[in-house]
Structure 1
Amino acid sequence: MQGLLNWLVRQWQLFCLALSFFSRIPVPKSTPYSSELFNQSSRYLSLVGLLLGILQGLVLLATAQLLPFSIAVLMALLTGLVLTGAFHEDGLADTADGLGGGLNLERKLEIMKDSRIGTYGLVTLLSVFLLKWQSLVALETQAAWALVLVAGLSRATAISLIFVLPYQQLDAVSKTKPIATSLQKRTLVWIWLFVLPLLSVLPWPLALSLLATLLLCFALLFFYYRSQLQGYTGDLLGAAQQLTELSLYLIWLMLWRQQ
């Protein structure tokens, strides 16, 4: 019994650690930290995503009672930015600037380390944000559920890239950005265990389409990142989450409109 209690306490601490790094939600100050614990806490990233999605969904449902639906969706998306400190969006902007403006590996990483946002980053951020906003507005009654599920699925896809790509060491001198660099294979099981079963509550054509989209996004991101940087960085994982999120919204909308 004591062993089970100790295990539960440790898992709670790992969840709090993941929550503290990937969101602005307060956690107990007594939460222990080490690089090893941080790597282990990555198993809960998809669960953190689901929690963030639930909070966004609640904001959407609440504000939709008082404001036009398009404004309610915008409030939900802004809530996500506040909760995460635009963590993944920052990675998307840096990736767009680096891969769009760099001609070689060293130059791409140098641009990505720059805290200033460039033209590629700004255009990409605005485009992705506007597409997400309008996709959720068009999803109407499906929007709240989409916020929850996609928040978990997109983060699971992004962190899964760690298992097939090497860590780009030059990222160690870039802007401070927490990133797992050594994950055990069983961590991958944990990551997907929190989100894949949720697909079962969706109509099977939609569930299969979302699953196929996840696999396609994963494959395309893997080959593109390997060709561009021969590995992954924290910025690339953030971009992967954002692009997968947008892709899932668009596919969900396409299937929903055909019903």
Structure 2
Amino acid sequence: MLKGLILYAQFFTRISIPVEIQHPEEKFKNNIQYFSLFGIILGLIEAGIFWIWCQIFPIWFAWILFLIGDGIITGGFHLDALADSADGIFSSRTVDKMLTIMKDSRLGTMGTLALLYFYAIMIGLGVCLSNAGFSISKMSLLAAVVVMYAKTGISFNFYKMKYAGKGGGLASIWEGISTWRIVFDQIFAMVVTFLLLGISGLISYVAVFIVAVLYRRYIYGLFSGMTGDTVGCFAEISQVVFLLVYVGINLSNLGGML
């Protein structure tokens, strides 16, 4: 487990851990059941930084700094996938051309818009909660869970995954992951979500699951499988969906009931 967590930190963040992991592809697959555990550990680190910012700045501004910090810590790993996927999928080209565009390192119009929309929604929702009087402690817990959902969301896409690209790209290493590992990871995420955010958090998890099923069907309909970009793209989508539903519940009359 420990080597798996170290590998994930080396792969998904800019945190320097000078430990050589032998057989990384095997370790990646065989530790997916701890994927959300890695996510919540990273989330708690970022939530701690957010809490410190809250001692200096208003909560709404600390939330913006939290999102900026997340991009710095992760190196924008999933943000790049979001932008590439948007450029390819919304290019209105043939499937082969879409895949070629997604591999292009240059940022296009749709990718730029996707990033702008992502940050507009994530910042706006944080400001909404701040204006609604959410405490620093509740916002900190939410920040930790939101970070976790970048990994929880990706985990959905590992289920019986087929690689859509040619020549064995990065995503091909995620084929053949045992179903029980994914189920264990999702159960862990549900338990953590419920313990930290209650029923409204659990309902938000269900919303992410439903969108994951629809997203998977759409992507497989286009490409007959997943690419590294389409897998990573859902990390950001899952965060947006989770936060949208959670904030919607807590700012409506349902919030008091749940």
Mark yes or no: TM-score above 0.5. yes
Query: Would you say 1:200 and 2:194 are equivalent positions?
Result: yes
Query: Would you say 1:235 and 2:229 are equivalent positions?
Result: yes
**Residues 171, 227 of structure 2: 8 Å contact kept:** no
What is the letter of the counterpart of residue 153 of structure 1?
Y
**Residues 13, 32 of structure 1: 8 Å contact kept:** no
Change (3 A) 1:126 1:146: same
1:171 offset after TM fit, Å? Answer: 6.9
Aligned to 2:129: 139
Query: Residues 152-189 of structure 1, C-alpha deviation per residue, up to 9 Å, x if partnerless?
Result: 2342232221214411132735xx67952221122213
Aligned to 1:125: 115
Aligned length: 246
Aligned to 2:7: 17
CA–CA separation in structure 2 for the residues paired with 1:137 and 1:32: 44
**Residues 57, 145 of structure 1: 8 Å contact kept:** yes
Structure 1 residue runs of 4 or more that deviate by more than 4 Å after TM superposition:
176-179
CA–CA separation in structure 1 for the residues paired with 2:50 and 2:25: 36
Aligned to 1:8: none
Aligned to 2:180: 186
Aligned to 1:255: 249
Change (3 A) 1:134 1:84: same
CA–CA separation in structure 2 for the residues paired with 1:143 and 1:87: 24
**Residues 82, 233 of structure 2: 8 Å contact kept:** yes
Change (3 A) 1:170 1:246: same
The correspondence of residues 209-220 of structure 1 with structure 2, limited to 5 A, is 209-220=203-214
Query: Residues 105-133 of structure 1, C-alpha deviation per residue, up to 9 Å, x if partnerless?
Result: 10010000100000000001011112101
Residue among 222, 225, 229 paired with 2:216: 222
Q: CA-atom RMSD, angstroms?
A: 2.0
1:103 offset after TM fit, Å? Answer: 1.8
Residue among 128, 150, 157 paired with 2:153: 157
Residue among 166, 187, 191 paired with 1:170: 166
Gaps of 5+ in 2: none
**Residues 42, 180 of structure 1: 8 Å contact kept:** no
SS in 1 for 2:35: helix
CA–CA separation in structure 1 for the residues paired with 2:62 and 2:146: 18
Aligned to 2:101: 111
Change (3 A) 1:178 1:232: closer
TM-score w.r.t. length of structure 2: 0.87
Query: Residues 212-256 of structure 1, C-alpha deviation per residue, up to 9 Å, x if partnerless?
Result: 212211111111111221111111111111011011111111111
| Percent of aligned pairs sharing the same letter | 24
SS in 1 for 2:22: coil
Change (3 A) 1:49 1:129: same
SS in 1 for 2:90: helix
1:97 offset after TM fit, Å? Answer: 0.2
1:74 offset after TM fit, Å? Answer: 1.2
